[in-house]
Amino acid sequence: MKRKVLIILLLVSMLSVSLTLSSAVAEEFSVLGKPLYLFGYVTQGATYGLKNTYDTEQGFNSAMMNLFAEGDYQISNTLGFYASSMVTVDWMYQLKES
């Protein structure tokens, strides 16, 4: 019974987070009179094992979070800069320790 309640709470919380957050954000700033565009998104996910097998264990196995950001700055018609970065974190190790 406790496991079913935990699964239902997890599904409800994941649904509420996905409905309240937008998947991508874009902002435009003016730097030296030229537009600077910043884009980014955050994703979260979790995996849950129903039983112990050779590659998973019963219970939560991962709690992944991805942060993605990119920027575009066009100085002139012939010169522009573009940068992007992505960070992926698995919080499961910290969650299992506490």
Average pLDDT, the chain: 79
Q: What is the pLDDT of residue 11?
A: 73
Going by pLDDT thresholds of 50, 70 and 90, the confidence category of residue 64 is confident
Question: Residues 20-30: pLDDT tens digits?
Answer: 555 555 778 88
Q: Would you list the DSSP string of 6-19? A: HHHHHHHHHHHHHH
User: What pTM was computed for the model?
Assistant: 0.58
Q: What is the pLDDT of residue 15?
A: 67
